[in-house]
Amino acid sequence: MNEKVEPQVEMEVEMKPSIKIPNEKEQPLLEKNYEKFIQEMKTMNVNIPFLDMISEMPIYAKFLKEILSNKRKIEEGDMVCLTEECSPIILNKSSPLATKHGDSERYTIPVKIGGMEEKKALCDLGASVSLMPFSICEKMNFGDLNPTRVTLQLADGSIKYPLGVLEDVPLQVGKFFIPCDFIVMEMKED
């Protein structure tokens, strides 16, 4: 039972940092490469897949990543030449382009709701809601209004609370029937 005990020897291992820290000598080279990258990006026409291009140019991939992550900004003071059509617009001079005239009238379309006679209604271009006065809703006898939590802020800043919503009201435009939702409010009938 003679066991030999081997002495433990501590070995020093040199640790190298895994992240490369650029030194002062590499900085001018890095800036020079960046300038070259910017010049090539300005004149680049890519006829190969973008990923192939990036894999062939790893240093450019680094710069592109810095630009996209907003670590670097593309600083350039190039002059932009305006076309003959654009320059007068910016300078507020008369131009060959069409001049704007005031609206001739409201954009309306003929519509028919239920048995009501055909009338002209403002065309909804999707930027607003379709409103219906409560008096018309009563005349048309569409039934009960569905409750709503909608509040409307008008152009004058006032807040209005609708009485309810009529859903899927058949709206006839020409020969087509379109189901529309109307917000019903207490207001004057046009």
pLDDT digits (tens, 9 = 90+) for 40-94: 777 766 677 777 766 767 777 777 788 778 777 666 544 444 444 444 444 555 5
Of the two residues 161 and 29, the one the predictor is more confident about is: 161
Burial of 113 (0-12, 13-18, 19+ CB in 10 A): buried
User: Running DSSP on this structure, what letter comes out for residue 146?
Assistant: B
**Domain residue spans of the chain:** 26-68, 112-185
Q: Could you tell me if 152 and 162 are in contact, meaning their C-beta atoms sit under 8 angstroms apart?
A: yes
Note if the pTM is more than 0.95: no
pLDDT, average across residues 148-159: 79
* Minimum mean pLDDT range among 8-17, 50-59, 93-102: 93-102
pLDDT of residue 188: 73
pLDDT digits (tens, 9 = 90+) for 107-136: 676 777 777 766 766 665 555 677 888 888
pLDDT of residue 32: 81
Which residues contact residue 9 at a Cβ distance below 8 angstroms, ignoring those fewer than 6 apart?
none
